[in-house]
Amino acid sequence: MTTAVTGATGHLGALVVDGLLARGVAANDVVAIVRDAEKARSLADRGVQVRVANYTDTAALTTALAGVDKLLLVSGSDLGQRVAQHSNVIEAAEAAGVSLIAYTSILKADTSGVSLAAEHLATEVRLTESPVAAVLLRNGWYWENYQSSVPQAVESGTLLGAGGSGAIAAASRVDFAAAAVEVLVTEGHGGKIYELGGDEHLTYSDVAAVIAQVTGKPVEYTDVPPAEYKQILLGAGLPEFVADMLASADAGISRGELDTDSGDLQKLIGRKSTPAAEVLR
């Protein structure tokens, strides 16, 4: 049984490769699909098969997927390009005879108004049209997303956002990687949709309190409307597409679109999710 992971030089993909090896999958049965072989040197040193293919190159992807049974397609990072890129990976998997594709989607992809959800939903639709069995890992937010907010929040005493009083059921990348490993090393996941969220349901006021707790500095949350939040982000020098994406995500948080109590993550990983305080500490 050969298992491939795309984005294997990224944060999540690397954790999944580690997890497969930790579960006893032989290194030679793991294929790391990367776009930069140099970045994957440590994987090759551990005996993992490193194959180079960009999501833009269907022919290279088909070659990279030769002999692969199960594939984790880690969603890409080129916003606006991802439906075409993910479709290339799916087409290559079909051509190579892959038997299962697991895809890292977003929580509530089919109903979410968060701008990021559109490309995920289009990829999910492409997967449902494929003859290859698919399992949808609808990942919630990473607590790691808030790591970069900590210095500014501590310095100013304010965590700024547009999430209102909406709760976020985030978890750590380690937790989402463990869920992906579980669907790759066990059977019966084809056709399943997992809504993956953590045990905590924290509002931004709660996140501010966690930052205060782990840093020992006073931090309080200030809520602004999404349009104002976008302008503040633009003023801080962020590109417009990033400001739009972050404002849209916060609006989604205010509507509860990054919250879930499905229990799917906990069932897959067999434990509670990693607390925000542990991640942010």
Ligand X SMILES: NC(=O)c1ccc[n+]([C@@H]2O[C@H](COP(=O)([O-])OP(=O)(O)OC[C@H]3O[C@@H](n4cnc5c(N)ncnc54)[C@H](OP(=O)(O)O)[C@@H]3O)[C@@H](O)[C@H]2O)c1
Q: Which residues form the interface with ligand X (CB under 6 A)? A: 7, 9-13, 35-36, 39, 54-56, 74-78, 85, 104, 139, 141-142, 145, 173
Q: How far apart are CA 204 and CA 222, in angstroms?
A: 9
- List % helix, strand, coil for the chain (3-state, nearest 5): 45, 15, 35
Select from 14, 9, 7, 23 the least CA-distant residue to 183.
23
Residue 13 or 163: the one with the smaller Cβ distance to ligand X is: 13
Residue 154 or 171: the one with the smaller Cβ distance to ligand X is: 171
Q: How far apart are CA 205 and CA 164, in angstroms?
A: 9
SS3 category, 65 = coil
Cβ pair 14, 34 in contact under 8 A: no
Least distance (Å) between residue 172 CB and ligand X: 10
**What is the number of the residue whose Cβ is closest to ligand X?**
10
Least distance (Å) between residue 79 CB and ligand X: 9
Residue 141 or 221: the one with the smaller Cβ distance to ligand X is: 141
Q: Residue 270: which residues within 8 A CB-CB, separation 6 or more?
A: none
Tokens of 278: 């542990």
Q: Residue 220: which residues within 8 A CB-CB, separation 6 or more?
A: 157, 158, 159, 205, 208, 212
Residue 145 or 213: the one with the smaller Cβ distance to ligand X is: 145
Least distance (Å) between residue 218 CB and ligand X: 27
Residue 2 or 75: the one with the smaller Cβ distance to ligand X is: 75
Least distance (Å) between residue 15 CB and ligand X: 8
Least distance (Å) between residue 20 CB and ligand X: 15
Select from 171, 170, 91, 169 the least CA-distant residue to 123.
91
Residue 157 or 239: the one with the smaller Cβ distance to ligand X is: 239
Q: How far apart are CA 63 and CA 61, in angstroms?
A: 5
Residue 231 or 275: the one with the smaller Cβ distance to ligand X is: 275
Least distance (Å) between residue 115 CB and ligand X: 13
**Max CA distance (Å), the chain:** 56
Q: Among all chains, which residue has been given the structure tokens 């962020």?
A: 238
Least distance (Å) between residue 220 CB and ligand X: 24
